[in-house]
Amino acid sequence: MTATQSDPVLYGYFRSTAAYRVRIALGLKGVIAEHRFVHLRNGEQNEEAYLKINPAGLVPYWIDGELQLAQSLAIIEYLDETCPEPPLLPDSAAARAVAREMALAVCSDIHPIGNLRVLKRLGDLAIDDTARNAWSQHWISIGFEALEKRLASIGGGPFAFGTRPTLPDICIVPQVFNARRFGVDLAPYPRIRAIDAAASEIDAFAAAAPHRQPDAT
Taking the C-alpha atoms of residue 39 and residue 45, their distance in angstroms, rounded to an integer, is 7
Between the CA of residue 136 and those of 114, 182, 209, what are the distances in Å?
5, 7, 21
Q: Which stretch binds ligand GSH (CB under 6 A): 79-87, 111-119, 134-142, 203-211?
A: 111-119
State the nearest-atom distance from the C-beta of 21 to ligand GSH, in Å: 7
59 scored as a contact of ligand GSH (CB under 6 A) = yes
Q: Which is nearer to ligand GSH, 153 or 211 (CB)?
A: 211
Least distance CB 74 / ligand GSH (angstroms) = 8
Q: Which stretch binds ligand GSH (CB under 6 A): 14-22, 127-135, 160-168, 196-204?
A: 14-22
> Contact between 72 and ligand GSH (CB under 6 A)?
yes
Residues 91-110 that bind ligand GSH (CB under 6 A): 107
Rounded Cα distance between 84 and 164, Å, is 15
Nearest distance from C-beta of residue 128 to ligand GSH, angstroms: 19
147 near ligand GSH, rule: CB under 6 A: no
Total residue count of the chain as it appears in this document: 217
Q: How far is the CB of 118 from ligand GSH (least distance, A)?
A: 7
Least Å from the CB of residue 177 to ligand GSH: 11
* Cβ contacts of 178-186, under 8 Å, gap ≥ 24: 178/17, 178/111, 178/114, 178/136, 178/140, 179/140, 179/144, 181/15, 182/114, 182/133, 182/136, 182/137, 182/140, 183/133, 183/137, 184/136, 184/137, 184/140, 184/141, 184/144, 185/141, 186/144
Q: Which residues bind ligand GSH (CB under 6 A)?
A: 16-18, 40, 45, 58-60, 71-73, 107, 115-117
